[in-house]
Structure 1
Amino acid sequence: MKKLTTSLFALALLASCNVLDKDPLPSISPANFFQTADDAEAALTAAYDGIQGTGAYAQDLNVVGEMPSDNCSSTNGDVAAMDKIAWTSTTSQVNNVYREAYIAINRANAVLKYVPALQMSEARKNSILGEARFLRALSYFNLVKLYGGVPLRLEPTESGDPAVLNLPRATVEQVYQQVVADLTEADGLTPAANATRASKGSVNALLARVQLTQRNWAAAQAAANQVITGGGGYALAGSFKSLFPADNKAESVFEVQYAGNPDGGTFNILPDLLLPSPPATYSFPKFNIPTAELLAYADTVNDLRWKFQGVTNAGRDHGSYVDGGRGTGNDDGPFVYKWPSNPNGFNSPDNYYVLRYADVLLMYAEATNELTGPSGEALAKLNLVRQRAGLPALTSTSSQAATKQTLRNEIDRQRRLELAFEGERWFDLLRYARHNQAEPGAHAVTALDLIAQQRQGQRDVNYLLFPIPLGELNTNTQIQQNPGY
């Protein structure tokens, strides 16, 4: 199925969420709604819709994954607060990501509670339950990376009772345990591969990312290897440029799909926010402008992902950065083109990559290097990504692979250049900071270095987390704010 369309009734029924929103439930109860296999499908589609919104992958998860990092800058409103690492409990992205993650969780919880009792194909029922567990795990993973321990809600919110609505924060370890438990369960329920729905490939790719974040190297390597050897048919695209826009390609492990607005479906606003006009339809201070440091970093090698290949400004080569030079203010300067066009303005139907096979290969290389140091296994996976970018294969005698540390640096380099502007850089820098706390000096640049740059030289560890949104603090009497806010 290319584009999900959502039952408006299912959305209304399942939208109730304790976070920042305590409106009465509709008069028709979820128990009355879940009667048939079609109802199960509609409810699952509503759960997918929970990750499609502007507080999720259509805008804010990309912004918070890039703007605080060394990749990007912007002067645009709250986006500039992300850039300057000056967010507060009322910054829009801080609020929106938290709120929409719990909307997705609540909808997944409804599926997990009511679908098991329905009379329908057992195979499809199991797949629906596995997909719901993946969506819940993905949402909790995004929350724990950004906010630390958060309330664990494993049942749908169907009551206005304060005892139901007001839950204390679970620990970080408890949240990660739930994420791993959901993914482990989903692995046995989902099909082998499906880029736009949860599958064994996306479950294990996400599990690899979760384990890498926790520095569980052997578990991360094993999960990545499941994607590589599990028969999902994943392969690198022949050229980097052909990857964009995302549209169910062989390299896609999981992407969030959009229908565009004309048919009333979901839509992706990122192209208009990240591209100059044209091809964007509006001119304003854009999001995610490449930093001079990133461009200089990319220019140190003859990298096909970033090399300007002679396309004029009118052509706008989406596989490269280009110098704008058009003198039009908001649209002047370099931009990264991971959308080659911008159909429908803010209502783009372009999908959004969450997990790509290149990322899986790099995660496998990183976990293997941490386990055994430079090895043929690590280099083989890394070289697939390097050679697609036009870079020579590394060998055990290459300076980049001489030691565990030099190979760490090279894997980080490839992650940065390969995944730039796909919403992962800040999360990499966050986990590097935590790695350095355990092993000082393991990574040359971490989130703490950028925090110090933006906050008068203070390496303030409090900014490794977002604050809990003020609205949640005002409505949940059992929750406490993160330190420093």
Structure 2
Amino acid sequence: MKITKFLMFSLGMLVLVGCEDELDLTNPNSMTAVEYWSNEEQAIAGVNAAYTNLLNDGYYMRMTPALTDGRADDFKADSPWPDLGQVSNFTILPTSGPITWMWETYYQQVFRTNQVLANVPDIDMDQDVKDRVLGQAYFLRGLAYFHLAINYQRVPLILTPAQGAEDYYQPTASEEELWSQIVSDFSSAQGLLPVDYASVSGPDRGQLGRATKGAATGFLGKTYLYMEEWSSAAAEFRKLIEGPELNNYSLLDNYADNFSPFTENNAESLFEVQFATPDQVGGTVKNYGGDPQNAWMQVSSVGHTYAQDGFGYSDFLPTRWIYNEYNEEETRSDNVDPRLLVSIASYEPEANSTTVYGGVEWPHAPDAIYPRKYTHDGYGFETESQGGVELSGINYRLMRYSDVLLMYAEALNEMGQTQEAYQYINQVRNRANLPDLEEVKPNLSQEEMRDQIAHERALELSMESIRFHDIVRWGWLYDDEKLALLRERDSEFETWRPGKEYLPIPQSELDVNPNAEPNSAN
């Protein structure tokens, strides 16, 4: 089963008591932080509360995917909401609500994991359960700082709960300090977490959705990749591919199963956010943000945000470039790449794709294209969110095994082992029934392989909150030739300026924290 609703929100009733005498007020109906943290049940509830942030609007409920995909060359804004368009064309202001929501929910997760890491070690409880609780807290804190680093560049680094007023105004850390801490957190998580929860002993036995050793290893490898520490990245990915302890991941036969509500937490998924509909777990209040409450839903808004006209908001559209990229190469059976119609809704009579949402005849212009990935289109549903609005229960997959294979190939190529990289790319291509890369592009140089890996990642991982950060870490925005290509693919890049690849530090944070510094986007 998934982590239950009760556990996810069980820490929402904690009250933090003020430090000054005049603010030293205690709610008699709630337990204070000082009184909490005394037993195993509370330790587990504490880390469960840190998972809750992943369901928040600023995180994977909507804004983290939307504001990431919108900045890439495979997606463009098509929304009446100005903030979405301004993020997509790199003109967003630091007063924007959505970028502030992202910032707030990442730091809420930091706050909650810091509480766990500071208090759980002193609790008298089963050591294995304690290790798993701490491992999850390290993982979730590493994940929060990873998102802060790739979205905001330089941020305050807070590692302990505040003890006094002076602790509320932490200075901005250097990028080196930030990335070093992310490595430390994922490394600590890797050492404490189990391979899975099927065979553990304790109240978390059999619960899906919790961070595992594999998830920590994957994100540790990805962190090293972002840091361009290629050999370290390759070493972590190799653990997931060759084992012996962690080689329990594999590609699914059907690419579409990676985005279906019916095949969640599968063999290809290293970590995913557990969304659920109200009829599954209850809830009457949308989980848009603020302090969690027991009435919160656990729904995702991504499906409705991306769904095509007539079925959702259609706030974004695929670019014509990514559509053409899918059509660049035919399969071994002379068909279109099967990932096209999983990722993009388009009118394709030759591919027998002329309907949407359970049989509705194509209702758009013949040349119109819309996002399909992470919507309910293609999975037997007649509507988006079962006729509701922003009520998706589709889990968001943060890392898939195909991503691991392609990142491993990239690390090998950067280490000069270009020929060795072919076999890992081929595993991803073969699932799409594409010919082996050696057949169509033998003996690629290192530079040519870089471009090929970028192409393979675009097709496999489009619209999964990955593409834009790939573009940034590859340095394409500061390469005149690559920047020209980006502008040709997506006119939103015309208004990009140096430093604007990051979201600005929210003005509200700069106003209240005198030690916080603006970043290159402010």
Structure 1 residues 44-75: Cα deviation after superposition (integer angstroms, max 9, x where no partner): 11000012211001111101221011111123
TM-score (norm 1): 0.87
Query: Contact 1:31/1:114 (CA < 8 Å) preserved in 2?
Result: no
Q: Select the residue among 273, 289, 313 that pairs with 1:256.
A: 273
**Greater CA deviation, 139-148 or 240-249?**
240-249
Cα deviation, residue 14, structure 1:
7.4
1:305 aligns with 2:349: no
- Distance in 2 (CA, whole Å) between partners of 1:324 and 1:215 is 45
Structure 1 residues 291-317: Cα deviation after superposition (integer angstroms, max 9, x where no partner): 111111211112121155413324469
Q: Secondary structure of the equivalent of 2:59?
A: coil
Residue identity opposite 2:276 in structure 1: A
1:336 aligns with 2:349: no
Q: Secondary structure of the equivalent of 1:32?
A: coil
Query: Contact 2:190/2:216 (CA < 8 Å) preserved in 1?
Result: yes
**In 2 relative to 1, CA 455–354 (structure 1 residues): closer, same or farther, beyond 3 Å?**
closer
Partner of 2:428: 385
Partner of 2:200: none
Q: How does 1:199-348 map to 2 (within 5 A)?
A: 199-230=212-243, 231-232=245-246, 233-245=248-260, 247-262=264-279, 263-264=282-283, 265-276=297-308, 280=311, 283-284=312-313, 286-302=314-330, 303-306=337-340, 309-315=351-357, 324-326=362-364, 333-340=369-376, 341=381, 342-344=384-386, 345=388, 346-348=390-392
Q: Secondary structure of the equivalent of 2:158?
A: coil
- Distance in 2 (CA, whole Å) between partners of 1:429 and 1:359 is 15
- Distance in 2 (CA, whole Å) between partners of 1:347 and 1:469 is 28
Partner of 2:334: none
Q: Which runs of 5+ in 1 are unaligned?
A: 18-22
- Distance in 1 (CA, whole Å) between partners of 2:218 and 2:107 is 22
Q: How does 1:142-157 map to 2 (within 5 A)?
A: 142-157=147-162
Partner of 2:456: 414
Residue identity opposite 1:425 in structure 2: R
Cα deviation, residue 327, structure 1:
5.6
Q: Secondary structure of the equivalent of 2:435?
A: coil
- Distance in 1 (CA, whole Å) between partners of 2:93 and 2:488 is 17
Partner of 1:13: 14
Structure 1 residues 237-273: Cα deviation after superposition (integer angstroms, max 9, x where no partner): 0011222226111101000001223412411111111
- Distance in 2 (CA, whole Å) between partners of 1:469 and 1:204 is 31
**Greater CA deviation, 223-232 or 424-433?**
223-232
Q: When the two structures are aligned, how many residues end up with a matched partner?
A: 461
Structure 1 residues 52-109: Cα deviation after superposition (integer angstroms, max 9, x where no partner): 2110011111012210111111232111112222111022332111110000111111
1:82 aligns with 2:120: no
Query: Contact 1:193/1:199 (CA < 8 Å) preserved in 2?
Result: yes
Query: Contact 1:433/1:448 (CA < 8 Å) preserved in 2?
Result: no
Partner of 1:110: 115
TM-score (norm 2): 0.81
**In 2 relative to 1, CA 327–399 (structure 1 residues): closer, same or farther, beyond 3 Å?**
closer
Residue identity opposite 1:148 in structure 2: Q
1:476 aligns with 2:513: yes
Q: Secondary structure of the equivalent of 1:354?
A: strand
- Distance in 2 (CA, whole Å) between partners of 1:43 and 1:347 is 26
Partner of 1:20: none
**Greater CA deviation, 308-317 or 185-194?**
308-317
Q: Secondary structure of the equivalent of 1:464?
A: coil
Query: Contact 1:323/1:333 (CA < 8 Å) preserved in 2?
Result: no
Residue identity opposite 1:403 in structure 2: S
Q: Which runs of 5+ in 2 are unaligned?
A: 198-207, 284-296, 331-336, 342-347
**In 2 relative to 1, CA 220–449 (structure 1 residues): closer, same or farther, beyond 3 Å?**
farther
Cα deviation, residue 326, structure 1:
2.6
**Aligned alpha-carbon RMSD (Å):** 3.0
- Distance in 2 (CA, whole Å) between partners of 1:146 and 1:16 is 32
Cα deviation, residue 478, structure 1:
1.0
Q: Select the residue among 138, 142, 146 that pairs with 1:141.
A: 146
Q: Secondary structure of the equivalent of 2:399?
A: strand
Which stretches of structure 1, 4 residues or more, deviate above 3 A after TM superposition? Answer: 6-9, 14-17, 23-28, 314-317, 322-325, 337-345, 443-457
**In 2 relative to 1, CA 98–484 (structure 1 residues): closer, same or farther, beyond 3 Å?**
closer
- Distance in 2 (CA, whole Å) between partners of 1:167 and 1:156 is 12
Structure 1 residues 138-164: Cα deviation after superposition (integer angstroms, max 9, x where no partner): 0001101111121111112465x1x11
Residue identity opposite 1:106 in structure 2: F
Q: Secondary structure of the equivalent of 1:347?
A: coil
Partner of 2:498: 461
Partner of 1:363: 407
Query: Contact 2:503/2:521 (CA < 8 Å) preserved in 1?
Result: no
Cα deviation, residue 414, structure 1:
1.1
- Distance in 2 (CA, whole Å) between partners of 1:337 and 1:301 is 20
**In 2 relative to 1, CA 98–9 (structure 1 residues): closer, same or farther, beyond 3 Å?**
same
- Distance in 1 (CA, whole Å) between partners of 2:490 and 2:364 is 34
**In 2 relative to 1, CA 175–400 (structure 1 residues): closer, same or farther, beyond 3 Å?**
farther
